[in-house]
Each structure stands twice: as structure tokens, then as C-alpha cells.
Structure 1
Amino acid sequence: MPDPRDHRVLIPVDVLEGQTVPATVIDAFASIPVVLLGYREIPDQTGPDQARDQYGDRMRAELAELGTVFEDAGCDVTTRSAFTHDRLKTFERVAVDESCDAVLVLNPAPVLETILVAIRSDVNVEHIARLLETILAGTDLELTLFHVVTDESRRDEGVELLETARSELLAAGIDEDRIDSTVVVGDSPTAAILEAAADHDLLVAGESRPSVRRFVFRDRAERLARRTVDPVLVIRGEYLESDDVDEEIVDGEGDE
């Protein structure tokens, strides 16, 4: 079993809007160090310093209270805060700064029993498997590996891909009875994933393509994060480094 301390998850929370972290999520991630990012997305005409002067004290108080909830659950927690014009870009920056393996985009999660894992390719499967094994340890969570092919003639390729992912998960120590696999044919992978996610409690999306510069939230990951009603865990590729992150980022991030 991997050491949970080898992983770290960023959990952004709009605490000033009263957003909370469901108890089901806290329980599922209690064994993994987390970075709580208290953020507020502000209008373009409002400066980050102006927002921080106005709301900074309240942000710190709300974030400290939420951090205590995680600590009471036995979680190793760090807090950051940001006032930003682009929340997803800020999530990217802090994820890299804090060496987080994944970013959890919150949505209500009254029940957390099943996970849908959308696999795009075999590039990052081993990394995804290690993090999933850590999350699943000590829980009864079950997962479904999911892949979309654009043509029936490619179904066998999809089945082979998910079998590779399944093998990695088994090698990471996950009980085979907790793993299911589904390959579907569809013109829109995003639509197919969103439809399947409706029958699950948490969506996991892994990034791929290490041969080019990529970010945490681009392409399909951003559309999934914006459109699903489930919490979404976007797993970063191991290749993503600080130099790969767009520096056109709002001021105001920092430890609080």
C-alpha cells in the first residue's frame, strides 16, 4: 500500500459564498494531505487587493474553521487563499505551487459510494491508479473504469485500454470485486462521460499527453468540471511542472 503522504489533493472552496465540503468527501480524503484553497472569483473591474482588503479577514476566519473540520477527521491540511478573475487558472497555479496530484472541484455529494474513472489513454494510468488506491484504502468505495470510442470498430481497443488500467489498479492493491469496466461508442466523449457520471457519486478525470505542454483544466477536463453535478477529481499528470503554467495569473494568492 502506498504511503498516503506521497499524495496531495487541492480542494478549492468558495467559503465566502457559504460553500462547504460534504462530510462524505472529508471522510473519503481524510487519509491524504489536502490543501484547502479559499477563493472568491471577482469581477474584472475589481482588483484582487481591493477584494482582499474588504473580505480578507472573513476569508481567513471561514477557512480556518473549515481547516479545523479536516483536522478533526485526522487530515493533514494546509490552507491558501485567493481573490481571482479566473478560478480555474488559479486552481492550476496553486496545484503546481503546492505539488498537488489532483484538484477536487466540489459539487454536492450527499452520498459517496461509487466513482466513475474516465480513462482517455494509457499514458497516465499508473499514476492515476496509485492515487485511487490511496483514496479507496479504508473505504467501501467502488469504481467503474470508463472509456469512449468513436466507432464500433475500435471497441476492442477500448476494452484493452481498460484492462490495462484494471491491471494497474489490481497491482496497486485494489480488490478486483470493487472494479467494473465500461466501453461505450459515442460521437461526444464529454457527453457520454457526463451521462455515465449521473449514475455515480464522484467523477475522476485524468489528464494525458505528456509530450506537449498541458494544464490541469483544459479541453475536456474544464467542460466536465463546469457541467457535471458530481464532484470532479482532476488528476494531474506527473509531467506538469511550474514552468508549464501560464504566468498570466491574478495577484493575491498566498498562504494565509
Structure 2
Amino acid sequence: MSSPRDHRVLVPVDVLEGQTVPSTVVDAFASIPIVLLGYREIPDQTAPEQAREQYGDRVRAELEELRTVFEDAGCDVTSRLAFTHDRLKTFERVTVEESCDAVLLLNPAPVLETVLVAIRSDVNVDHIARLLRTVLDGTDLEVTLFHVASDEDGRNAGRELLETARTALIDEGVDGGRIESTVVVDGSPTTAILETAADHDLLVVGESRPSIRRYVFRDRAERLAKRTVDPVLVIRGEYLEAPGDGMDGDTDE
């Protein structure tokens, strides 16, 4: 069984826009090391160095306050500060540099009791189970494993996939009584996930392609984060990209 220290989650926060981390999220993620990324997306014509000189002290102060909130909850937290022309590119770079397993896209979370885990047929369920078990440690969160089949022929395969995921979670030490499974048939997976997520407090999705920016943030997970009221936890694949691959144009400290 993996240890919580085997995992890290990146939490990007646009502090100058007044974005904060809900206390329910802080409590739920207190058992897993956090990389807190305070960032500010700036216009193309503004140099990152200029923005850092103008806003750096304010951003550092806001970031330090957020860091203290996590530390007070007993969380192992590292902080980073970035001014960037492309926030998604920066998320990708920092995730790789800090060896994070997941990225938490923030939304308000007044209550955090139930988790919807949307699982596609091409994800590594064992990897998702290991990180999800770490997140569940020390919480009473209930889990619903969810799969969207494109047609009726795919329903049984979906059930088998979720049973595999359920077994993986139980093998990681999660009480089977906390886990439910649901398979639906829908031609629009995003719509089906959003409708079901409305009855849950945290949405978990997995990605499998070798680019966080190309798939996770410019595809379904980014759209889900914009259209749901829930925080969205995006679990990466087990690969690690080279830190220099296509990542430039920002500065941090």
C-alpha cells in the first residue's frame, strides 16, 4: 500500500483575483502534501519581471496567508509564485517540476461529503485508486465511481471497469461500504458527468494522454471545471514529461 508521502497535489490559486481555498478543501487534503501555486496571468505585452516588481509583495503576502491555513491544518505544504502569459502552461511545468500526481482546480465547496470519480475506459485505475485512497485518508467522504458508456453495448464493459476500480480501492484499504458504482449510457459524456456531479461535492477525473496542457486543461477537465460548481481534482498518468518540453514564457520564485 502506498504512503501519503508518495503523492503530491498542485493547488493553483489566482490570489490577486481574490480566489481562496475553501476550508472544506483544506481539511479534506490535509493528509496529502500540497504544492500551493500562487499565480497571476498577465497580458502578453507585460513582462513577467515587470509584473513581479509591481505585484510581487502583495502576491507573496496573500500566498503566505494561504500557506499558513494549510499548515495550521497539519498539511505538508510547499509554495510557488508565478507571473505568466499562459497559466495552463505554468500549471503543466510546475506539476512536472514538483512531481505532482494531480491538480486541484478550485471552485467553492461549502460542503465536502461526497466524491464523484468519473472513469474512462483508458485510464489506469490502479493509479487513480492509490491517490484517491490518500485523499480519502482521515475523511468520511463517500465515493461514487461513474462511467459513461456511449451505447448499450458498452454498459457491461463499464460495469466491469468500475468493479475493477472498486476492487483496486478496497485493496488500497478503502472500506467498500463507502463506494458506490454507477454506469449510464449517454452520447455526451461531459453533460452526463456534469448532471451527476450536481449531486456531489468534489469531482475527480483522470487523464491518460502525455500532455496535461493539451488534454487536461484544454479539453474535458477544463470544461468541467468551468461548468460545475464543484472543485475538480485531475489525476495525472504515471508518466513524467521532461521539464523543458514546450514550457516557457513565465517566471516564478
Say yes or no: TM over 0.5.
Answer: yes
* Residue in 2 that maps onto 1:214: 211
* Stretch of structure 1 that moved more, 136-145 or 223-232: 223-232
Mapped partners of 1:127, 1:85: distance in 2: 32
Counterpart contact for 2:85–2:250, Cα < 8 Å: no
Counterpart contact for 1:214–1:244, Cα < 8 Å: no
Counterpart contact for 1:206–1:236, Cα < 8 Å: yes
Counterpart contact for 1:114–1:141, Cα < 8 Å: yes
In structure 2, the residue corresponding to 1:111 is in which secondary structure?
coil
Report the alpha carbon displacement of residue 2 of structure 1 after superposing the two structures with TM. Answer: 3.0
> Counterpart amino acid of 2:132?
L
Counterpart contact for 2:34–2:78, Cα < 8 Å: yes
Counterpart contact for 1:116–1:145, Cα < 8 Å: yes
Mapped partners of 1:62, 1:214: distance in 2: 30
Mapped partners of 1:180, 1:25: distance in 2: 22
Mapped partners of 1:62, 1:199: distance in 2: 32
- Cα deviation, 1:31-79, whole Å, max 9, x if unaligned, reads 1110100011222222211111100011111111111111111111110
> Counterpart amino acid of 1:35?
V
Report the alpha carbon displacement of residue 214 of structure 1 after superposing the two structures with TM. Answer: 2.8
Count of residue pairs brought into register by the alignment: 250
* Residue in 1 that maps onto 2:100: 100
> Counterpart amino acid of 1:214?
S
Report the alpha carbon displacement of residue 132 of structure 1 after superposing the two structures with TM. Answer: 0.7
Mapped partners of 2:15, 2:35: distance in 1: 14
* Residue in 1 that maps onto 2:225: 225
Q: TM-score, normalised by structure 1?
A: 0.93
Mapped partners of 2:47, 2:148: distance in 1: 42
Specify every segment of 5 or more residues in structure 2 that has no aligned partner in the other structure, as ranges: none
Report the alpha carbon displacement of residue 122 of structure 1 after superposing the two structures with TM. Answer: 5.2
Instruction: Note the aligned Cα RMSD (angstroms).
Output: 1.5
* Stretch of structure 1 that moved more, 37-46 or 20-29: 37-46
Mapped partners of 2:227, 2:240: distance in 1: 25
* Residue in 2 that maps onto 1:149: 149
Map 1:1-256 to 2 at 5 A: 2-121=2-121, 123-209=123-209, 213-215=210-212, 216-242=216-242, 245-247=245-247, 249-254=248-253
Mapped partners of 1:252, 1:244: distance in 2: 14
Report the alpha carbon displacement of residue 121 of structure 1 after superposing the two structures with TM. Answer: 2.2
Report the alpha carbon displacement of residue 240 of structure 1 after superposing the two structures with TM. Answer: 3.0
Specify every segment of 5 or more residues in structure 1 that has no aligned partner in the other structure, as ranges: none
Mapped partners of 1:243, 1:74: distance in 2: 30
- Cα deviation, 1:174-225, whole Å, max 9, x if unaligned, reads 111110111111111111111111111000010125xxx3324342222222
Report the alpha carbon displacement of residue 15 of structure 1 after superposing the two structures with TM. Answer: 1.1
- Cα deviation, 1:104-156, whole Å, max 9, x if unaligned, reads 01000000000000101254111110111111111100010011111112110
Mapped partners of 2:173, 2:185: distance in 1: 30
Report the alpha carbon displacement of residue 246 of structure 1 after superposing the two structures with TM. Answer: 2.3
Report the alpha carbon displacement of residue 239 of structure 1 after superposing the two structures with TM. Answer: 1.2
Mapped partners of 1:77, 1:32: distance in 2: 9
Q: TM-score, normalised by structure 2?
A: 0.94
